[in-house]
Amino acid sequence: MRNGTDKALAPAPIEHGPNDPALFVNRELSWLDFNQRVLEEAIERHAHPLLERAKFVSIFSSNLDEFFMIRVAGLDDQCAVGVMDRAIDGLTPQETLERIRQRVLEHLQMRNDCFFQDICPELERKGIGFVSCSMLSESQQALLRDYFREEIFPVLTPLAFDTGHPFPFMSNLSLNLAIELEDEETHSIKFARVKVPGILPRILRLDQVKGLEFDDDKIRLLWMEELIEHNLCQLFPKMRILQCHPFRIIRDADIEIEEDEAGDLLESIEQGLRSRRYGKVVRLDITPDMPLSIRQLLIKNLGVYERNVYEIGGVLGMSSVIELLRIDRPDLKDKPFVPANALEQWRSDNLFDAIRSGDLLLHHPYDSFNPVVELIWQAARDPEVLSIKQTLYRVGSNSPIVKALMYAVEQGKQVAVLVELKARFDEENNIVWARALEDVGAHVVYGLPGLKTHAKLTLIVRREQDRLCHYLHLGTGNYNPVTARIYTDYSYFTTDRSLSDDVSELFNSLTGYSKNRRYHSLIVSPINTRKWIMEMIKREIEWQRREGTGHIILKMNALVDEEIIRALFQASIEGVKIDLIIRGICCLKPGVKGFSEHIRVISIIGRFLEHSRAYYFNNGGHPELFLGSADFMHRNLDKRVETIFPVIDQRLVASVRSDLEQMLRDNRKSWQMLQDGTYRKIRDGRPAFDSQKQFMRQSSKRKRQTKTKVNGI
């Protein structure tokens, strides 16, 4: 199936060289294409078990909400101040917004058809069904009214809107009921709003309501807003309910901090988090049956334009269907996957011994994240460890790694942690952990002014005999054991002195006033990443000219940067083979004769989120492999602290090269970008090959082999 079918974006003839807009894909529309590929995981009936398909509906919806909160909000701002500049694809902000609206409406219809016309009937056949209050008997409805009075009523706050009551404030992502009432005494017409509180379950399981019984074991589900609507008379006594309509708002949630003027960055971000609730409304979701009078009342008082209004049939706020995964039906979910634990494979209780014996590489989630956590805990407990330095970007709400760092401080070790407070939507968690670390005496810094620190680094200094040894963990993903179970990433452990010296210098830059700009092995944004990638591409061009062996494989989340795209075009013109494994946004069109005909672009969407970044260069038959935290976007190259590091051990280079080759073979979860910038699912006639399933099989094989060795068989 192909996506991105907007006829207005059909490719134009290439006439004007590498700057021709027809060679590029609009960044925002490329992201929407990616999110459609996520939705296709729900639409394809045999791609996943039934409840997992519902999960992808939720992920698609949540992704789209964030897209509006950040990207659409930014485009709206540009339009408001009259920006008419054209992006590399030739579209203005206003034209981009028009294409976004058209595409989003199509996608929302696809989502609703998938969920309500396919997934819900299938759930019904499996004994799980949504019901309405009217489908219940009178006695069951009476019990449900009692439940509402006891459990729901006390949480609700009806807000009137009239001359004595200002239009109520509505928080970001809130689901609300717009209610028109008639006073039974004065017969005057009133308007009120009731918010569906986020602290309540959005989907109520009726079989878990006390006293409510049914004749079978079927699981009956009720949307919370319907329960509230059915019992509005309890909220508005002596009022007649004329009509009730749900609506939902999405606000601009991009926090802007003037760091040069901020006396205290932590305090400024806390203020920004509070202001996020008050950002302008960028999308108003309503149902098609909302009358014009209520629609206009909302538009006027929320300060939105018609272009911000989206009529959506069915249910609003579909990210909440993730709650269906709480249902205990293993037959409708993915089979549990337990990754191989390298701690058992390495057969060493002391991770420092294991790392000192040779560089180690883990591929998550196929390899457990436990060794990373255990390394920090061993460092915290080891009396020979003198210091631990670490960067933290997204660590989650219950982080064992932060607890280990706090314990290390209590054991008298020097602990320095860079907590990136500006990690979008993780600011609150990071503020909590920053304060907790400060409270126990850790050295905590919040990053460099104007730059987010996105690098994933740990440096441990340990006394061994008469010298100090440096141990490194370098990663492509966050120090978060929860996401490490569903994100694909690499963890690299080494004692390489050149790398450790570079990491030490980088920490000095992050925590102090060092202005070091020379690194021997580490590639660091914003210092030298852009220059490095340009040089590596030029080197492959030279190899192609001399020997015809130029080959580049890049695996990332996004490829947006124009300069690098043009360099890749030049490499393709010279005949360099280029394989791009880009999960999300890709602004480069492959296969265009005379420019990108030697470039292939694929995107893998599967059970796990492809998050690792790998950069492979054939180098005339002497392959070089690098891993890191950077996508090729302006922000990663010029506005963030990112690190890319070489993998020296050729065994590990070969291992990652094998991983990349298997991804490139994938013809089940892989989408290929076509010459016009659209995608189609790869079905090439070869035997079915799912790279993620293959990695899971390889992980299970490693577990069996380890168990065999341990048992001495």
Residue 271 confidence (pLDDT)? 63
Residue written as tokens 């577990």?
Answer: 703
Tell me the two tokens of residue 471.
């141990």
pLDDT at 181: 94
Higher-scoring residue by pLDDT: 584, 713: 584
pLDDT given for residue 611 in this prediction: 97
- Cβ atoms of 96 and 307 within 8 Å: the answer is no
Q: Which residue has the tokens 């189609």?
A: 680
Q: Per CATH, which fold does 342-521 belong to?
A: Endonuclease; Chain A (3.30.870)
- CA gap 307, 285 in Å, rounded: 11
587 in Cβ contact with 565 (< 8 Å): yes
pTM: 0.93
Which stretch of 99-113, 422-436, 655-669 has the lowest confidence by average pLDDT? 422-436
- Token pair recorded at residue 597: 């005909």
Q: Check whether 9 has a pLDDT greater than 60.
A: no
Record the tokens describing residue 476, joined without a space.
């492509």
The per-residue b/e assignment along 379-416, b for 16 or more CB within 10 angstroms, e otherwise, is bbebeebebbbbbbbbbbeebbbbbbbbbbbeeebebb
Q: Per-residue confidence at 268, pLDDT binned at 50, 70, 90? A: low
Contacts with 553 (C-beta within 8 Å, 6 or more apart), sequence order: 578, 579, 580, 581, 614, 615, 616, 657, 660, 664
If one compares 175 and 431, the residue with the highest pLDDT of the two is 175
Sign, CA torsion 545/546/548/553 = negative
Q: Is the pLDDT of residue 2 over 90?
A: no
Superfamily of domain 151-304: Polyphosphate kinase middle domain (3.30.1840.10)
Q: Is 454 marked active-site? A: yes
Q: Please indicate whether the domains covering 9-115 and 524-710 agree at the CATH topology level.
A: no
- Segment (H or E) for 580: strand 577-582
Instruction: Kindly name the residue from 363, 364, 454, 611 that is annotated as catalytic.
Output: 454
pLDDT at res. 274? 59
Predicted confidence (pLDDT) at residue 546 exceeds the cutoff of 80? yes
Residue 263 — pLDDT band, cuts 50, 70, 90?
very low
Mean of the pLDDT values across residues 250-267? 62
The pLDDT tens digits for 41-67 are 999 999 999 999 999 999 999 999 999
Residue type, 501: D
The CA distance from 3 to 681, in Å, is 10
DSSP class of residue 705 equals H
pLDDT at 4: 42
**In percent, how much of the chain has pLDDT > 90?**
80
CA count, 13 A, side-chain hemisphere, 434: 25
Mean pLDDT of all residues belonging to the chain: 91
Q: So what's the pLDDT on residue 570? A: 96
Query: What does the pLDDT average to over 182-207?
Result: 94
Percent of the chain with pLDDT strictly greater than 70: 93
- SS3 for 248? strand
* Domain ranges within the chain, ordered by starting residue: 9-115, 151-304, 342-521, 524-710
656 contacts 665 by C-beta, under 8 angstroms: no
Our measurement of the distance from residue 572's CA atom to the centroid of its chain's CA atoms, rounded to an integer in Å, reads 31
Which residue shows structure tokens 């080197």? Answer: 539
**What pLDDT, on a 0 to 100 scale, did the predictor assign at position 256?**
57
CB crowding 38-76: b at 16 or more within 10 Å, else e: bbbbbbeeebbbbbbbbbbbbbbbbbbbbbbbebbbebb
Residues 6+ apart with CB under 8 A from 708: none
Q: Is the pLDDT of residue 191 over 50?
A: yes
Average of pLDDT values for 212-238?
95
- 566 touches 560 (CB < 8 A): no
In this model, does residue 17 exceed pLDDT 80?
no
Question: Which pLDDT tens digit goes with each residue over 295-354?
Answer: 999 999 999 999 999 999 989 999 999 999 999 999 999 999 999 998 887 767 789 999
Which of helix, strand or coil describes residue 515?
coil
Q: Does the 9-115 domain belong in CATH 1.20.58.310?
A: yes
Q: Is the pLDDT of residue 289 over 70?
A: yes
Asked whether residue 695 carries a pLDDT value surpassing 70, the answer given is: yes
The residue-averaged pLDDT of 633-651 equals: 96
pLDDT at 484: 96
pLDDT at 13 over 80: no
pLDDT given at position 626: 98
Nearest to 607 by CA among 695, 542, 674: 695
User: For every residue of 170-237, which 3-state class applies, written as one string?
Assistant: CCCCCEEEEEEEEECCCCCEEEEEEEECCCCCCEEEHHHCCCCCCCCCCEEEEEHHHHHHHCHHHHCC
- Record the tokens describing residue 312, joined without a space: 């959506």
524-710, which class in CATH?
alpha beta
Tokens read off for 286:
């309503």
Report d(CA 252, CA 160) in Å as an integer: 25
